[in-house]
Structure 1
Amino acid sequence: MEEKPENEEEKGAIHNIPWAFLGDILSRLDAKSLKRCECVSKSWLSLIRNWDFIHLHLKRQLPCVVFLQKKVRRFNYTLSTCNWENFAEISSQKFPKFKRRRPPLLLFMGSDNGILGLYDLRNKKVYLWNPTIKVSKTLSFSPHSELNHSVLGLGYDPFTTDFKVVMVSCPVEKGVIGTHNLFKAGNQVGIYSLRSNSWKTMAMPDIFSDFEPYTSDIIIYTSLSCSIVVNEAIHWKICYRNSLYHDQLSLGIVAFGLRMENFKLIKSPQIVEGSHVKKLANFSGCLSFFTFDEVQVVEVWVMKKYGDSESWFKYLSVNLLSLLPNWVGRHPICTPVSFLSNGILVISCIETGYWCWYDTKSKRLENMCRRFGVSDFTTYVESIFLSEKGENFVACD
């Protein structure tokens, strides 16, 4: 730690504890305990709010997973936080109450460095929420995007120590739902900076330039799944095809570099059918995705060298029908929900409400629990980011 507390002697000791040693001890605490330590003294508060310390603390926290569950009759949401190795519940809390015109329809837009990004499709609102320290912030959609079809992402830029929300929009057009060309050249992109508490706009570049002279004929299918942050970039899954070749649907991954604020298209293996791809994932720091076909075979693909489309390799192939035991039902309708960084495949059995997880390294299958009303799922790590409740942040009950 370069920054030392004010009015401390040269050795930097507090209560006879060397300053560097104290920082090392505090960085190993959980986020809730660390928040209580801010009240000890101004010196401790100064240390805990130091950016170097915040990043050190984050690196030492164990990751977890979160379920967003909806109670239909009451129109409220509960966030259930679970250990990502055995899925034991760590905590459960209600989503903060905000002033809304209509009951919310919430989905995760991203998760990074302990901050969850959610968007309300009905009320056109974006929420940044740190459920560990119970602090949140409400954002309005970027200017001129309220009547548009949009996809969002959240990421943390370590170079500027800033959280950024990216919203890609296009005008609402008549046609098949989900075929809006959000990533078409010239479309509006809104970039929100938490540090400056403001939006700025840019035009989407032509990331499909390799498809000339038929660039204008590309049809893009965009999903509303949670974005993934890998290698300091936000990633979205799209499927695309040239209008001249109706039977060729390809997977594309759109990346937004948080530092340079630039877009690029990452291509997938040609043998992968775009319509089979369920979700992107971060596997041990590598960009990955998993597929699920008509015969319930799951395949996991991993990009060994980031940005190199030739480095994709198939990490796993498993048939759910042969994998799942009898307790999920004789003919269960099961689907893979997520592939975690530690190599665990999360599976949901819709009819029975059972959730289970499969450790792809040890080949072990475990029943997680029965969960109903799950509307979304993502990974999470506890942190003290957004601990300063200024700039319209609110403390949640």
Structure 2
Amino acid sequence: MKTTQRRNERSKTLENGRDHSLPIPIDLVFEIFSRLPVKSIAICRCVSKTWSSILRRQDFTELFLSRSCALPKLLLACQKDGDLFFFSAPQPQNLDENPSPVVASCYMKLSLDAYFRNGAFEISGLDQGLMGLTHQWIGEKRKYSVPVICNPSTGQLLPLTRVKTRRVKSRNLFGYDPIDKQFKVLSVSEVGYGPTNMKYEEHQVITLQRGKLSQRLFNTDRVLHHLEYSKERCINGVLYYKTIEFSTNTHILVCFDVRSEKLNYIKVKKFLTKGTMVNYNGKLGLLLSGVYDSIIESSTSVNLWVLEDIEKQDWSEHTYVLPPSWKDIVGRKMLGFVGMTQTNEIVMRSERGPRSPFHLFYFNTKKNTVVRVEIQGIDEPEYTRVHIFLDHVENVTLM
């Protein structure tokens, strides 16, 4: 009954607030608008109040997002001082031996000096095409941090509530709950000074839902300290990050359930902490080459460790031998892992040497092939850091 009622509502013509209406079913209007580029959506929102109202509706933004998920893109976020430049390019598909270059175009520049001075911020990929920005650390002289959620499609920056702390250092980690559709920030605070006295103790959770913010503080029975090179990864509502248990010096993978806000701890081997965290078919994967976090000249394979069960702490290991054409295509380059695509291709980039032209390397584990894709339109040496996000989707939701 509810489904029939909703269909009837969606089939009604659109009222413009006066005595006139658009003699077009709203389903058809949604279909037309959902096929437009993001920039065109932004322009159309300014045409009239009627169009603005249509393009702000939740059912339209959900339709646009679902269509975008079917056509993921390659997103490059380039830092330069306090500015962030977003480049977008088609996601390479069905790569052959000699793929054509991919052209990236810059469509957005955001100035972040009002939030982070001198470009001292970290960027994290979130679900739904959004990103999280935060200070690298909250230091002794900076007693609060303002986490920021960014929508690269609309250029919006949404600062959340200040994360206050009485501690020496804190770090903010971003997660998303796909069931309740909530974005959350887990702020983990640390006590003490020096590498032997670094330990986490205080946790805060900031929740964003329908424009409202809530904040909760809790402590844990474990004292941990952070691996500074570690980055978090949120997969299917679970936020993963790496730490070391203070008392035993044991390497720990923390699993934070974003919906229930409960923590699980998994002991891992030391070399696994170097692995690049990826989404492997909805599970956490760690990419390494042997015990290294990069592929070096002597590497012969890529190892993928998959967390099969959080409660049982069960892992599986997959080994992919590099193809014979590897050295002809890659040469002596040291490659770092970018991630894995939805089609389970391992993507890498050069970590040393000249980076112009800019290349990505796609390792197809099923076909056992590797191809080099040139990314045109971006001069990598011009920027301080270049962050690469695979399978990016566009989201026209206004925060």
**TM-score, normalized by length of structure 1?**
0.74
* CA distance in structure 2 between the partners assigned to 1:105 and 1:258 by the alignment: 26
Aligned to 2:387: 376
**Residues 1:110 and 2:125 are matched in the alignment:** yes
CA contact (8 A) 1:235 1:254 kept: yes
Asked if structure 1 preserves the Cα contact closer than 8 Å seen for 2:75 and 2:89, the reply is: yes
Partners of 1:197 and 1:98 in 2: how far apart?
25
Instruction: Establish whether residue 144 from structure 1 lines up as the match of residue 165 from structure 2.
Output: yes
Q: 1:119 and 2:137 equivalent?
A: no
Cα pair 2:15 2:22 within 8 Å, conserved: no
Q: 1:336 to 1:134 in 2, by over 3 A?
A: same
Q: Distance in 2 between matches of 1:323 and 1:65?
A: 25
Aligned residue identity for 2:25: P
Classify 1:239/1:334 alpha carbon distance in 2 versus 1 (closer, same or farther; 3 Å): farther
Q: 1:325–1:101: structure 2 CA closer, same or farther, 3 Å change rule? A: closer
CA deviation vs aligned residue, 1:6-64 (integer Å, no higher than 9, x gap): 9659xxx9744322333344334443333334345545433432323322321221223
Structure 2 match to 1:341: 342
SS at match of 1:187: strand
1:188 corresponds to = 203
Conserved? CA contact 1:107–1:376, under 8 Å:
no
Among candidates 68, 74, 77, match of residue 77 of structure 2: 68
Mapping of 1:74-113 within 5 angstroms?
Answer: 76-85=83-92, 88-92=102-106, 93-99=108-114, 102-113=117-128
Paired residue type of 2:303 = E
What do you get for the CA RMSD once the two structures are aligned?
A: 3.7
Match status 1:278 vs 2:300 = no
**In structure 2, what is the equivalent of residue 298 of structure 1?**
302
Residue 149 to residue 48, structure 1, CA distance change in 2 (3 Å) = same
Instruction: Give CA deviations for 1:85-115 in whole Å, capped at 9, x if unaligned.
Output: 2683443233324336741223213322121
What stretches of structure 2 of length at least 5 have no aligned partner? 94-100, 293-297
1:95 match: secondary structure: strand
Aligned match of 2:184: 164
Tell me the residue number matched to 1:260.
260
Q: Counterpart amino acid of 1:69?
A: C
Shift of 1:345: 1.5
The Cα offsets for residues 228-281 of structure 1, whole Å up to 9 and x where unpaired, read as 2222232223455862xx6xx54x43232232222223566xxx5444532211
What is the CA–CA distance in structure 2 between the aligned matches of 1:30 and 1:232, rounded to whole Å? 29
What is the alpha-carbon distance in structure 2 between the residues aligned to residue 260 and residue 100 of structure 1?
A: 30
Letter matched to residue 191 of structure 1 = I
Deviation sequence 1:134-153 (CA, Å, 0-9, x none): 111234640126x5333322
CA distance in 1, matches of 2:262, 2:370: 41
Partner of 2:327: 325
Normalising to structure 2: TM-score of the pair? 0.73
Report whether the alignment pairs 1:359 with 2:364.
yes
The whole-number CA distance in structure 1 between the counterparts of 2:26 and 2:211 is 32
Distance in 1 (alpha carbons) for counterparts of 2:394 and 2:319: 29
Give, in whole Å, the separation in 2 of the partners of 1:309 and 1:175. 28
SS at match of 1:118: strand
Over 3 Å counting, the alpha-carbon distance change for 1:47 and 1:82 in structure 2 is: same
Contact 2:336 2:348 in 1 (8 A): yes
- Equivalent residue pairs, number: 355
> Relative to 1, partners in 2 of residues 1:57 and 1:22: Cα closer, same or farther, differing over 3 Å?
same
Q: Aligned partners of 1:28, 1:309: CA distance in 2, in Å?
A: 44
CA displacement at 1:343 relative to structure 2: 1.3
Which amino acid in the other structure matches residue 116 of structure 1? M
For residue 34 of structure 2, the aligned residue among 19, 24, 27 is 27
Segments ≥4 residues shifted beyond 6 Å: none
Q: Secondary structure at the match of 1:60?
A: helix
CA 97–277 in structure 1, closer or farther in 2 if over 3 Å, else same: closer
1: CA distance between counterparts of 2:26 and 2:13?
12
* Overall identity of the aligned pairs, in %: 21
The worse-fitting range, judged by mean Cα deviation, of 113-122 and 87-96 is 87-96
1:116 deviates by: 1.1
Q: Deviations over 1:163-218 (max 9, x none)?
A: 22221222242225xx8433xxx523242426455451321434xxxxxxxx66xx
Say whether the 8 Å CA contact 1:110–1:153 is kept in structure 2.
no
Give the aligned residue type for 1:64: K
**How do 1:29-68 residues align onto structure 2 when only pairs under 5 Å count?**
29-39=36-46, 41-61=48-68, 62-68=71-77
Distance change >3 Å, CA 227–CA 195, structure 1 → 2: farther
Q: 1:203 aligns with which of 218, 222, 228?
A: 218
In structure 1, what is the equivalent of residue 25 of structure 2?
A: 18
Letter in 2 for 1:264: N
> 1:43/1:323 Cα in 2 relative to 1: closer, same or farther (>3 Å)?
same
Q: 1:363 to 1:31 in 2, by over 3 A?
A: farther
